[in-house]
Amino acid sequence: MSHDASEYDKNDFKSNTGKRYNMDEKREECGVVGIYSKLGQSVTPLLHRALYALQHRGQDAAGFAIYSDKRIIERKGIGLVESIFKKEDLELEGSIGVGHTRYPTIGGCAEGDVQPTVYDGIAVAHNGHIANYPDLKKELEGDGYKFHSTVDSEPMAYYLHRDKEDLKGAIEKIMKNFEGSFSDVAIYHGKLLCYRDQRELRPLVWGENKDFIMVASETVALDVNGIEYKGDIRGGSYFTVEEGNLNKVQIVERLPHHCMFEYVYFSRPDSVINGRSVRLVRSLLGEQLAKESPVKADVVVPVPDTSRTAAMAFAKESSIEYEEGLIKNRYIGRTFIMPTQEKRRNAVKLKLNPVKDIVVDKSVVLIDDSIVRGTTMKEIVQLIRDAGAKEVHVRITSPPIKAPCFYGVDIPTFKELIANNKSIEQIKEFIGADSLAYLSLDGLKTAIGIPICDACLTGNYHTEYVKKLAEAVK
Ligand code: SF4
């Protein structure tokens, strides 16, 4: 995640290109991967495949760094993985590597903000958000470090560097001083290193085969490389691989608060994170929602793509037909906030098209994972009505979002969140649905089945610094 001077003001979600992103499309900050070859083989092709697999976690920039002949070589660029790297980049040879796919949030995406951040024998790829970045920056500048970017991986690299080669000491200070979430991988003086904050907010899995050890945001990065998932990096610990030996060190107590949105929305359904299958959780979300808020209807339609698994389970539990009644144009990337309703409608129409014969004269249950501002859902409901639906019942597979996130997910300010300002009945009126229901918090917790962070649903932030930040922006 990146920062600028106007941290947490009302323009938080404005990029440095001046565009405002459509936060009804929540965005995740980054995918990371680290890999070590036990047999001294080149890791570059595997890194490249892993970055492709993690593209959904960040589509604005990508990069990798490899360790070769006692030096670090980096390759990075703005855009999609397929467009950034040249053939000769992929022929670079090195037996340790880290990679990153990125979404910019605060501050946008300048060339200098593309990760990994490389500094004097260290290369860091970071996933998460450091809430007290300005304080850390000031401290490190006082120690003589010069900042060249606005990304969290830069203070991380300097913290790792400042303690010379006392890795345990450096990680202890990171765990103590960095407020927020971090699931990071690094090349550290010829070792592969990874570490995770004690709350385990962002996922970080690892796996191994006879040739390679890999750490990544999601198991899909392991799968595409034929590497077996072995488990998750424990919160509050770090893990190094050097000369083929794996060394795990617990630094502080593990206090898991897994981001519930990783299951509801972000991670790929074919991933396993924190030991839980994302597909299975989404299925349970849909099933539970059908039990809590049943509806008499003719057809269940998902808002593609992330709601599909839950919608199928909702349909099965309700004994209602499931149909792909909305088709997504896959060639349209991110959309930006449109100033007028007409422009918003046109943007949604370009992205989603209803299948008329599926919805015409039908009572439709529309399933989505969340409602942020409500403006996109309003347009989708209208699209389905315009296509001839008799009724549109909206069911949401998570509880209402009432508070912003300071732990690494772009959720807008209190003011912009529709559920912070309106009752469920008022939201139903605003989006123009015949009925609206959200999954309960208990239902969400039961489906995910492991301890979660629910701060954006309840406003109960679980770290002191963020509690103060939230008060300040209210
Ligand atoms: Fe995830 Fe919400 Fe917690 Fe942010 S506040 S980490 S979006 S659950």
Could you give the count of Cα atoms lying within 13 Å of 185 in the half-sphere of its Cβ? 33
Ligand 1 and 409: CB distance under 6 A? yes
Which of 30, 405, 453, 456 is the catalytic position? 30
Active site residue 405: no
**Would you state the pLDDT for residue 22?**
44
Over residues 121-146, the pLDDT tens digits come to: 999 999 999 999 999 999 999 999 99
Centroid of ligand 1 to alpha carbon of 453 (angstroms): 6
Of residues 214 and 108, the one with the higher pLDDT is 214
State which ligand 1 atom lies nearest to the alpha carbon of 452: 8
Strands in 79-177 per DSSP E = 96-102, 117-119, 122-125, 128-130
Centroid of ligand 1 to alpha carbon of 52 (angstroms): 25
Task: List, in sequence order, every residue forming a beta bridge with 386; answer none if it has no partner.
Answer: none
**Smallest CA separation from ligand 1 atom 4, residue:** 405
Number of helices (H) and strands (E) in the chain: give both, helices first.
Answer: 18, 25
Ligand 1 and 13: CB distance under 6 A? no
Centroid of ligand 1 to alpha carbon of 74 (angstroms): 32
**Would you state the pLDDT for residue 17?**
30
Ligand 1 and 456: CB distance under 6 A? yes
Task: Work out the mean pLDDT of the chain and round it to a whole number.
Answer: 91
Ligand 1 and 311: CB distance under 6 A? no
Q: Is 462 left (phi over 0), alpha (psi -120 to 50) or beta?
A: alpha
What is the CB neighbour count within 10 angstroms for residue 202?
31
**Would you state the pLDDT for residue 261?**
94
Task: List, in sequence order, every residue forming a beta bridge with 117; answer none if it has no partner.
Answer: 124
Is 50 exceeded by the pLDDT of residue 9? no
Is 80 exceeded by the pLDDT of residue 399? yes
Range 295-331 burial, b when 16+ CB lie within 10 A, else e? bebbbbbbbbebbbbbbbbbbebbebebbebbeeeee
Q: Which residue among 411, 414, 467 has the greatest number of ligand 1 atoms within 8 angstroms of its CB, and so is best to mutate? A: 411
State which ligand 1 atom lies nearest to the alpha carbon of 26: 7
